[in-house]
Chains A and B, each alone.
Chain A
Amino acid sequence: METPLVRTPRWRRLLPRRRGRWAAGLAALAVLAGAGTWNAVADDGGPAVHRQDRMMKADGVSIDTSYFTAGDTGRRPAVLIGHGFGGSKDDVRAQAEQLARAGYAVLTWSARGFGKSGGDIGLNDPDREVKDVSRLIDWLADRPEVRLDAEGDPRVGITGASYGGAVSLLAAGYDKRVDAVAPQITYWNLADALFPDAVFKKLWAGIFVTTGGGCQKFEKRLCEMYERVAVSGEPDAAARALLTERSPSAVADRIEVPALIVQGQSDSLFPLGQADAMAKAISGNGAPVAVDWIAGGHDGGNPETDRVQRRIGDWFDRHLKDDKGADTGPGFRVTRTGGIDSTDGATLVRGASSDTYPGLDNGTQDIELGRRTQTFRNPAGAGPPAISAVPGVGGGLAQLSSLGVGLSVDFPGQYARFDSAPLDEPLNITGSPAVRVAVGAKRGDAVLFGKVYDVSPDGKQQLLPSQLVAPFRITPDQQGKPVRLTLPAIDHRFDAGHRLRLVLSATDLGYASPAEPTTYTVTPAGPLTVPTAAALRTAPATMPWWTWGLPAAAVVIAALLLLTARRRTATPAPDPALADVPLQITGLAKKYGKSTDRYAVKELSFRVEKGQVLGLLGPNGAGKTTTLRMLMGLITPDDGEIRVFGQAIRPGATVLSRVGSFVEGAGFLPHLSGRANLELYWQATGRPAEDAYLEEALEIAGLGDALARAVRTYSQGMRQRLAIAQAMLGLPDLLILDEPTNGLDPPQIREMRDVMIRYAAGGRTVIVSSHLLSEVEQSCTHLVVMDRGRLVQAGPVAEITGSGDMLLVTTAQEVAEPLVEKIAALAGIGSAARTDDGLGLLVRLDGATPAGLISELVRLDVPLTGVGPHRRLEDAFLTLISGGSA
């Protein structure tokens, strides 16, 4: 019976702690010096806590105390914290410091027989341990910082777990100065706890005595009583009386202060029934009572320490500080264990609550179990015993049972079992089920252990809620007629499809039962009555704010990201004047990457009219492809405007649906066939299949059987042709072909040329970019020549090439300047100029024939080596771009 504040195995708590020893040593010195010692305990959670350790004398017994205060020197309520059985004041130090920081004067002490305190264990004897508390209250009343209700009457509350919880109740009963209590996992009547229904709870009683340090540490009467009962296995009236008179129940009518009763669900030592009796008595006296069933207890630790201590703090804030705003919580709360948190393995709990404490038999339902008489044996020597709760195993078993695994054993032939029908709907039992049964025994008392199992639908698994079992002693005069058996109080959900199974067993590991072999008969005389406490409401699982806050914030951030991505400038309105102009480019500029002055395209303006085949000429790096990419809306110009049929080009501009393009090589899904690629591409445009003119396009591609093959098997030329066919799908009004003849063989080049010319002849427009000049010369009607990102010249092919009446005259030696002028002055000659190397003349005919020119040149003694209609596009091109770069 020790404080379950920290989940450490109970035996380890018996060892003195190093800090405790140190503090105790200091305290001893202080006593010798006749003065207290002040210790400042700094903590990052609030003001520094001062601790004063002091030995106090009570009836010649020294009581080891620690006094905690924090903050200013103003008067404040006091709180006494008792420790668990087998522990000492050091166990409650953390809680004391916390309460001190919360504005209380906190006094902890080691009870008689524990820690450094002297004396024997008297099990909270009213004349010893309880009187000690009154002495402590006396001492508190003299402290200058403790708030007083009256002279010698400090404002004081008491809390504590187990042994310390019982002393809080007892002090409230014996000392009127106590103003509020918060007992945790403690007993109301120790006789009922250790001798329930006159059956000896031998295992727990043994542990209890051992934890106290052995029988010799107890007051003599108590030790004798224990040894007597332990040997006989049956409690006697004197034993009952001794424990009862030292229990809070002895002063049931005098405990009239607000009480927060915290009891453990996994507690086979002080089960929920103890708290029930406590709550009924205290609220019967008119004091406010709240009941809190925590997960854990003496069998399962206290996994809820933080919450419980917070609630106790709130309770004292309300009832000691008179803080009307303090929320003392619901009148009844029960912690329900869910599953396991998969991320850290912790057990998940949530609370169910109701405004008032419902008791253990609220909202009952009847569950029929059958009335068949069952017979079973009590084995000689009461062994092997059935197993339910195993004290000392700690949190293990009871906690497992809440998860659906439990260790509980009933030996065949030693128990009777009564099953309900499968439940139609889930059933939550909160309280003590009860059943009326007629019990018979061949001889003597019948001692039975009752439990209600939760049986899985397939019947293979049964679990015992909280591992709890209730013992019953049915004396011969009670036998043969129905007696009411009240089973352990539990809070447990039975799922739909599960069954309830009442088991009455002849033995249990934790209890002493008759060693004489005998036979029991059990006949249910009624249904199992189960309480449901229907007013209980499970709190919705609380999620941290961020479970909805973060996604909501993400929605806002995402919306901002998307909205600010919109271009600031609105799309310019269509220009109706240009509606018939396939392409007009005005002042186009695009820089490379992030550079400020290196332009890929700069100040580019030109216009393409309907029906033209426009050649976009330029050496590599002239900016042709960049221009075409801007035209397709793939890259955004830094400056200038592109209009196609009057519509400004933007990424994804709808007018692009009237443009077919083949730029910088083919782009196909390699795993699909040529035909599938084209079909899927057309479907991706979302346009009607009949508008595709797929067969015509495929004819141009001329791939034949290869269309059914995956594109990854194609040669470069095949891909090229397929890509041009894709560009022509839907017969776009503007067709853009970038280097279309790359990779084609000469017959295909010729064919492609014809295709383009025919395509434009239909009133459509074709733009061909190329650096192959012969190609452009033969198929284009108009030219745009680019170099280093700039337009060099634009116009009809003939205009740029000089319409073919330019002649190149090559000579054997340099022609003198006067001679050139003479030639230029000849009739029918437009102009004449020396070539750069001086060994030639460029002559433009203006009415004269080449033959006439030759005869004139011969006449002038020009050393002719040749005359030809030279000045072809290539020269023009080179002239243009070299001039442009000059």
Chain B
Amino acid sequence: MSAAVDLAGSAEAPGYRARRTLPLRVEAVRQLRRRRTLLMGGVLAVLPFVLIIAFAIGGTPDSRGGGSDRITLMDTATASAANFAATCLFVSAGFLLVVPVALFCGDTVASEASWSSLRYLLAAPVPRARLLWSKLVVALGFSLAAMVLLPLVALAAGAVAYGWGPLELPTGGALAASAAVPRLALVVAFVFVSQLVTAGLAFWLSTKTDAPLGAVGGAVGLTIVGNVLDAVTALGSWREFLPAHWQFAWADALQPGIEWGGMVKGAAISVTYALILFAFAFRGFSRKDIVS
């Protein structure tokens, strides 16, 4: 033990700056090596290969001559790498991509509470708003990474399996591969923005409970409730205010001319809910008694 530095009356320890606490990099490292992170990444990275195997076993979708009138991305899944990536997004956007968002955002504060590490961070002291901010940014960053990972792996795997070619649109026509990749990026961007509402819900629940599964499950559960409500056509135009109503609006980016309407509306709804939920999270957490 070295001699104590005389700091009488100083408001803080030398070198302490509230704004430098819990840097994003540190929070990312803290979260990165968790099993759930690695597992989620693994699932998303493996999914394209599972689909490739499925198509290999079941035959390519267009060779089966389906009886459905609806033209879906499934029918063109094996046309090219871009088609395959779009199909991967199509099959996962409804639920699979909800899970990482709910997981990363719902688990982030609640798990610290359940490990008791939260109180040590707060006593370090990491200001509460700063802690939430770092955690939110990292959780959203991980969510985005998960969403980018899937189409990237799908593009790479699809390029090997089906070749690098134009994106054949389900509504007809085709997009050159060079034009298709920005479209896929737009799709990912919209899926991400549309999941902000899930992120907001999960994050808010995360600050409310010490049980990580409760926050994740709650967010996923309410997403399912939203889907159920959206299926109630009797609600009419009220459904436009359900985030779930717009979850497939990204398909508008895969038309010959991009239709922005659905995506703009969906993004507006999602951002609206998310902003309020995030604000509730910050507000609640800033005055909460930490007893975990």
Contact = CB atoms under 8 A, between A and B. Distances in A.
A489 B22 CA distance: 65
B261 interface: yes
A732 B268 CA distance: 48
Interface in B253-292: 255-262, 264-265, 268-269, 271-273, 275-276, 278-280, 282-283, 286-287, 289-291
B171 A340 contact: yes
A421 interface: no
B68 interface: no
Interface in A730-746: 730-733
A94 interface: no
A197 to B, nearest CB: 31
Contacts of B172: 400, 403-406, 461, 463
A633 B249 CA distance: 46
Contacts of A647: 11
Interface stretch (A34-42, A408-416, A515-523, A552-560): A552-560
B227 to A, nearest CB: 13
Interface stretch (B2-10, B50-58, B215-223): B2-10
A702 to B, nearest CB: 15
B183 interface: no
A636 B288 CA distance: 8
Interface residues on B, range: 35 or more
A217 B289 CA distance: 88
A541 interface: yes
A646 B287 contact: no
A731 B286 contact: no
B248 A664 contact: no
Contacts of A667: 115-120
B209 interface: no
A557 B262 contact: no
A667 B172 CA distance: 57
A579 interface: yes
Interface string A78-97: 00000000000000000000
Nearest to B3: A762
Interface residues of A, number: 94
By secondary structure, the A interface counts as loop
A764 B2 CA distance: 11
Nearest to A696: B1
Contacts of A544: 265
B208 interface: no
A686 B16 contact: yes
Contacts of B171: 339-340, 403-405
Given A652-B128, A687-B16, A763 B3 contact: yes
Contacts of A338: 255, 257, 259
Contact of B33 (A546, A547, A672): A672
Contacts of A636: 287, 289
Given A342-B248, A686-B20, A656 B255 contact: no
A656 B120 CA distance: 11
B169 A661 contact: no
Interface string A619-658: 0000000000100111110000000011100011111111
Interface in B103-155: 115-128, 130
Given A580-B9, A645-B10, A548 B262 contact: no
Contacts of B29: 680
Contacts, number: 261
Contacts of A493: 257
B10 A651 contact: no
Nearest to B279: A558
A657 B248 contact: no
Nearest to B18: A654
A325 interface: no
A684 B21 contact: yes
A681 B33 CA distance: 15
Nearest to A631: B123
A493 B280 CA distance: 47
B12 A655 contact: yes
A342 B269 CA distance: 16
Interface string B237-257: 000000001101111100111
Given A655-B12, A669-B30, A693-B2, A458 B21 contact: no
A666 B118 CA distance: 11
A340 B250 CA distance: 11
A441 interface: no
B103 to A, nearest CB: 15
A557 B278 CA distance: 11
A10 B13 CA distance: 84
B245 A565 contact: no
Contacts of B264: 543, 547
Contact of B22 (A579, A655, A686): A686
B290 A685 contact: no
A671 interface: yes
Nearest to A726: B120
Contacts of B14: 687, 691
B64 interface: no
A255 to B, nearest CB: 38
A731 B3 CA distance: 9
A632 to B, nearest CB: 4
A553 B246 CA distance: 20
A562 B283 contact: yes
Nearest to A546: B268
Nearest to A348: B259
A681 B264 CA distance: 41
B23 interface: yes
Nearest to A563: B283
Given A461-B173, A681-B124, A691 B290 contact: no
B166 interface: yes
Contacts of A546: 268
A341 interface: yes
B259 A658 contact: no
Interface in B140-192: 166, 169, 171-174, 176
B15 interface: yes
Contacts of A403: 171-172, 255-256
Given A343-B262, A657-B13, A634 B256 contact: no
A657 B12 contact: yes
Contacts of A681: 120-121, 124
B119 A632 contact: yes
Nearest to A758: B1
Interface in A684-728: 684-688, 691, 693, 696, 726
Interface string A564-577: 11010000001010
Contacts of A651: 122, 125, 127-128, 286
B279 A562 contact: yes
Contact of A547 (B9, B265, B280): B265
A579 B8 contact: yes
B25 to A, nearest CB: 8
Q: Which of A342, A348, A665 has the most CB of B within 10 A?
A: A342
A658 B289 contact: no
Given A461-B174, A666-B116, A669-B117, A632 B26 contact: no
Contacts of B249: 342-343
> Which of B33, B121, B259, B282 counts the most chain A CB atoms within 10 A?
B259
A663 B118 CA distance: 12
A661 B4 contact: no
Contacts of B265: 543-544, 547
Interface of B: 1-4, 6-23, 26-27, 29-30, 33-35, 115-128, 130, 166, 169, 171-174, 176, 245-246, 248-252, 255-262, 264-265, 268-269, 271-273, 275-276, 278-280, 282-283, 286-287, 289-291
19 contacts: A339-B256, A339-B258, A343-B249, A456-B173, A550-B268, A550-B272, A551-B268, A554-B276, A561-B283, A629-B119, A655-B12, A658-B10, A669-B34, A684-B124, A686-B17, A686-B19, A687-B16, A687-B20, A696-B1
Q: Which 3 A-B pairs have the closest CB atoms?
A: A579-B9, A405-B172, A667-B116
Given A553-B272, A565-B286, A661-B123, 4 more contacts: A559-B279, A652-B18, A657-B16, A686-B21
